[in-house]
């Protein structure tokens, strides 16, 4: 249940769920279906570091202006913001814009020699020292009063502990100012996308509302947009929040309509540019203009969002729906305007679609079409199939898909009820579909942090890691989104990338991210159920001053088996080869496997892990006990079994 409907079980969570309650898993699932009733205090506290998460598109664009905004200010067509602090931030952006315009080079301010870079770093250090001597509440105000060149040099070149300390003391709003001024060119809008990606991975790891987080991930991928495209740089954040997350556990027709009437979708699939060939907007002085229909959204809403590629529609139906959706547009997207229906761009007259004659009705034509798509049995089957593919198997059985589709039609596409049908199906608990899915990079990385109880202190580094694995957040270019099947993510190269990440993380080399394998071992020991076999008697002493505390333990493994000749042998992980690793390493490995995976890994994997930790380290000597523990954790995380859910 936890592996399917969360981003991974935390240490002790399974035991807590099942202790004295055989229905603990079902009760957890039912609670998760009502996310608003679940306290999420820690996650909400961390979200305060990302103010754009609560902003609408206009506020995001105002905070992080694009080049178009700066050009209008320079040309006198738009005033500076009335807020004096924000206006001071704009001064920096306008200065960069003028340099770029005049020199025809991006980031021209930073095309400097190594000697000049060193001077800039020294100047930034002096400014930082001056700011650090001031009261915390006065520092940003003082920075914004400095000459523009000093602000640029400081935000770009300040380094080291003093940078970290200053940033830590800034308020979230002051963080926004700093980030906007620190861009290498005048366009700051990508900062909002950076915040969105970081906030998303934090939510996936930290939120108590795990099912909502998982479903938000699923539905965004289903209704994918490419966030860096044009004005979607400022529309994507509210799209995720208001269209996707808000409806992630509601009814599918509402979710479909929320995406269809969101500027982000209209821009991504170009429907805002679509114009009826015979519409008033395309007729000038009695002559028809050259503009016409854009079929992108009409095609994808049937192929990818509702009916499926085998949904029984034709190219003529795509054209008919595109005509019905003319006028569905965005009011001045360059200034972050809202979705609106432009009657002047709507194609007049009747349309032919899916064997029907659609009477002229303005926006109502598109609304009725989307409702028909959302209630179609073909949509019910396709959505049920995709949900079963996400949670059960890459090729889900028709039996469970049919039951889910029937529930869809009976409940008007109630996502909660469809998921209940899946959970209560025999297939859901079938051994055949146990650990039958492979984690995507997002799922893998989030599950590493959750299962090891590691605090994600550097979300930017985590986001970069996921990107390096092939799944940059909100940057899937095609409307299909990212694949969620094993053939895409389970191969030798991907496994090597994941193992390398695990080794880097456990050695504290992921952007300064701290990892404590001894704490993980202790959590695993403490969560062992009473009477567990093999019986573990362990004493652990952790020294908090060490990144991986020294563990002093006495252990006795009392579970033994006797071979046919009566000789006693330990149940070794390799199943055939005796390793000179000692009971301590085997004990630690057993605990980590149980804690991180929920059971033993294969004999082959186990044997390889025990061999690896006995290899000499770089200096030729044996690895220390803490180093071996770090390696054990890394190899379990990198094992094929951990990649499954």
When pLDDT is cut at 50, 70 and 90, the band that residue 183 belongs to is: confident
Helices 625-637 and 517-526 meet at what angle, rounded to 10? 70
Sign, CA dihedral 558-562-566-568, equals: negative
Q: Are 56 and 192 in contact (CB under 8 A)?
A: no
The arithmetic mean of pLDDT across residues 116-131, rounded, is: 93
| Structure tokens, 548 | 């991986």
- Asked if the peptide bond before residue 363 counts as cis, ω within 30 degrees of 0, the response is no
Contact of 34 with 428, CB cutoff 8 Å: no
For 128, the token pair is 């930082």
138 pLDDT above the threshold of 60: yes
Residue 639 near residue 601, CB atoms below 8 Å: yes
Q: What percent of the chain has pLDDT over 90?
A: 73
Whether residue 570 is predicted with pLDDT greater than 60 in this model: the reply is: no
End-to-end CA distance of the chain: 10
Tokens of 479: 């409307």
The radius of gyration of the chain's CA atoms, rounded to the nearest angstrom, is 28
542 has pLDDT over 50? no
**DSSP type of residue 356:** E
Contacts of 586 (CB under 8 A, 6+ apart): 557, 570, 572, 573, 610
The pLDDT of 141-149, averaged and rounded, is 96
- What's the angle, vertex CA 552, arms to CA 550 and CA 558, rounded to 5? 135
Token representation of residue 70: 């700066």
305-355 pLDDT, tens digit per residue, is 999 999 999 999 999 999 999 999 999 999 999 999 999 999 999 999 999
Higher pLDDT, 573 or 427: 427
In whole angstroms, how far apart are CA 548 and each of 508, 544, 554, 606? 10, 8, 18, 22
**What pLDDT is recorded for position 141?**
96
3-state secondary structure of 327: coil
Phi and psi, residue 182, nearest 5°: -90, 0
**Per-residue pLDDT reduced to its tens digit, 274-314:** 999 999 999 986 778 778 999 999 999 999 999 999 999 99
So what's the pLDDT on residue 590?
A: 87
For CA atoms 248, 250, 253, 255, give the dihedral sign: negative
Residue 93 CA to residue 67 CA, distance in Å, equals 9
| Three-state secondary structure call for residue 276 | coil
- pLDDT classification of 527: cutoffs 50, 70, 90: confident
Task: Label residue 285 exposed, middle or buried (CB < 10 Å: 0-12, 13-18, 19+).
Answer: exposed
For 471-484, what is the mean pLDDT? Answer: 98
Considering only 421-430, 553-562, 603-612, which range has the smallest mean pLDDT? 553-562
Residue 358: phi and psi, rounded to 5, are -95, 120
Q: Is residue 451 pLDDT above 60, yes or no? A: yes
* Cβ neighbours for 464, distance < 8 A, ≥ 6 positions apart: 511
Q: Model confidence at 581, in pLDDT bands (50, 70, 90)?
A: low
- Token match 């002085």: residue? 285
Across 533-558, average pLDDT: 34
CA distances to 51, 264, 328, 329 from 268, rounded to whole Å, are 24, 6, 13, 12
CA distance 423 to 582: 43
Higher pLDDT, residue 391 or 531: 391
* Percent of the chain whose predicted confidence (pLDDT) is above 70: 89
């Amino acid at each position: 249940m936890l592996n399917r409907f969360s981003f991974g079980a935390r240490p002790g969570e399974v035991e807590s769920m099942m202790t004295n309650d055989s229905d603990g898993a079902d009760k957890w699932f039912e609670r998760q279906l009502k996310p608003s009733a679940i306290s999420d205090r820690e996650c909400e506290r961390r979200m305060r570091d990302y103010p754009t998460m609560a902003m609408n598109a206009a506020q995001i664009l105002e905070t992080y202006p694009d080049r178009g905004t700066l050009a209008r200010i320079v040309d006198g067509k738009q005033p500076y913001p009335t807020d004096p602090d924000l206006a001071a931030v704009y001064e920096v952006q306008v200065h960069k814009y003028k340099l770029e315009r005049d020199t025809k080079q991006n980031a021209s301010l930073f095309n400097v020699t190594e000697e000049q870079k060193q001077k800039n770093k020294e100047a930034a250090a002096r400014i930082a020292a001056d700011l650090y001597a001031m009261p915390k509440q006065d520092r940003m105000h003082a920075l914004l009063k400095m000459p523009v060149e000093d602000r640029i040099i400081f935000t770009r070149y300040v380094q080291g502990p003093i940078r970290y300390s200053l940033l830590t003391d800034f308020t979230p709003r002051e963080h926004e100012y700093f980030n906007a001024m620190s861009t290498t060119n005048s366009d700051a809008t990508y900062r909002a996308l950076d915040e969105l990606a970081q906030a998303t991975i934090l939510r996936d790891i930290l939120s108590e509302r795990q099912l909502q987080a998982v479903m938000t991930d699923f539905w965004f991928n289903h209704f994918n947009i490419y966030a860096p495209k044009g004005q979607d740089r400022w529309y994507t954040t509210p799209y995720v929040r208001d269209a996707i997350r808000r409806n992630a556990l509601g009814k599918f027709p509402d979710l479909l309509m929320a995406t269809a009437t969101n500027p982000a979708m209209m821009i991504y699939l170009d429907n805002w540019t679509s114009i009826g060939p015979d519409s008033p907007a395309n007729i000038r002085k009695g002559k028809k203009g050259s503009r016409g229909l854009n079929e992108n959204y009409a095609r994808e809403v049937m192929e990818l969002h509702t009916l499926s590629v085998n949904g029984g529609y034709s190219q003529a139906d795509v054209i008919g729906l595109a005509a019905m959706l003319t006028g569905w547009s965005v009011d001045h997207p360059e200034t972050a305007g809202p979705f609106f229906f432009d009657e002047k761009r709507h194609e007049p007259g009747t349309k032919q679609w899916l064997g029907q004659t659609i009477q002229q009705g303005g926006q109502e034509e598109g609304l009725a079409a989307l409702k028909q798509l959302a209630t179609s049995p073909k949509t019910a089957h396709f959505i049920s199939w995709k949900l079963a593919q996400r949670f059960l198997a890459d090729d889900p059985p028709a039996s469970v898909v049919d039951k889910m589709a029937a529930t869809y039609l009976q409940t008007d596409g109630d996502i909660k009820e469809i998921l209940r049908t899946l959970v209560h199906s025999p297939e859901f608990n079938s051994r055949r579909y146990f650990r039958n899915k492979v984690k995507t990079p997002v799922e893998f990385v989030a599950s590493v942090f959750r299962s090891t109880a590691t605090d994600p202190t550097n979300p930017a580094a985590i986001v970069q890691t996921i990107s390096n694995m092939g799944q940059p957040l909100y940057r899937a270019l095609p409307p299909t989104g990212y694949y969620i099947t094993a053939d895409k993510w389970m191969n030798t190269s991907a496994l090597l990338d994941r193992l390398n990440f695990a080794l880097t993380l456990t050695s504290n080399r992921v952007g300064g991210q701290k990892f404590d394998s001894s704490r993980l071992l202790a959590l695993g020991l403490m969560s062992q159920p009473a009477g567990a076999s093999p019986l573990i008697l362990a004493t652990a002493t952790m020294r908090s001053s060490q990144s991986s505390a020294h563990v002093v333990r006495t252990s006795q493994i009392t579970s033994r088996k006797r071979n046919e000749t009566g000789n006693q042998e330990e149940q070794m992980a390799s199943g055939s080869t005796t390793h000179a690793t000692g009971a301590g390493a085997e004990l630690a490995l057993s605990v980590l496997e149980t804690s991180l995976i929920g059971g033993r890994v294969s004999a082959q994997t186990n044997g390889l892990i025990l061999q690896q930790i006995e290899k000499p380290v770089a200096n030729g000597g044996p690895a220390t006990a803490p180093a071996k523990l770090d390696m054990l954790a890394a190899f379990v995380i990198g094992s094929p079994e951990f990649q499954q859910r």
